[in-house]
Homo-oligomer: A and B are copies of this chain.
Amino acid sequence: MIKLKRRSDCPVSFALDIFGDKWTFLIVRDLMFKGKHYYGEFLNGGEKIATNILADKLAMLEHSGVIVKSVDPNHASKIIYKLSKKGIDLLPLMVEIIMWSAKHDIHTAAEIKFIKRVKKDREGILKEISGKLKAELKE
């Protein structure tokens, strides 16, 4: 059930129409930083998403052009999910989310090494990660 209603032309509203829920961005996080590519891997993430929600969000993300689906060449019953170019473009936004939470959450699990690296060399780490994701996309 894919439902995307456009509330206004405001760029903030546009993004929230796609990502404005508790789960969608966690799927993007798993694709972006945790090397996850399969339905079953997303299910076993740290936050226990329900199967129907996961299926709905994956369908919505594909419909929005943020992820792409393909069949695993070595395993016809497995489906590979990857971030599209549009999805990879979410990287700077994701990094800023992490930076904000790392600063304001006492119990954050954010890696200190990562935070320091972003502070010192933001452009470098963005290029490094997006390069890796673009390579994955072409596989």
Partner of A14, one of B15, B16, B96, B105: B105
Chain B positions within 8 Å of A96 at CB level: 92-93, 96
> Does A52 reach chain B (CB closer than 8 Å)?
no
Contact residues of A between 1 and 47, Cβ < 8 Å to B? 7-17, 20-23, 25-26, 29, 46-47
Q: Give min CB distance, A114 to chain B, whole Å.
A: 10
Q: How far is the CA of A17 from the CA of B29 in the complex (A)?
A: 15
Most chain B beta-carbon contacts within 10 A, residue among A11, A46, A98, A99 = A11
| Chain A residues proximal to chain B, CB less than 8 Å | 7-17, 20-23, 25-26, 29, 46-47, 65, 86, 89-90, 92-94, 96-105, 107-110
Tell me whether B46 and A105 are in contact (CB under 8 A): no
> What is the copy number of this chain in the assembly?
2
Tell me whether B97 and A9 are in contact (CB under 8 A): no
Chosen A-B contacts, 24 in total, with CB atoms closer than 8 Å, are A8-B47, A9-B105, A9-B107, A9-B109, A11-B97, A11-B98, A11-B101, A12-B25, A12-B29, A12-B94, A14-B101, A14-B108, A15-B97, A15-B100, A16-B23, A20-B21, A21-B22, A89-B100, A89-B104, A90-B100, A93-B93, A93-B97, A93-B99, A93-B100
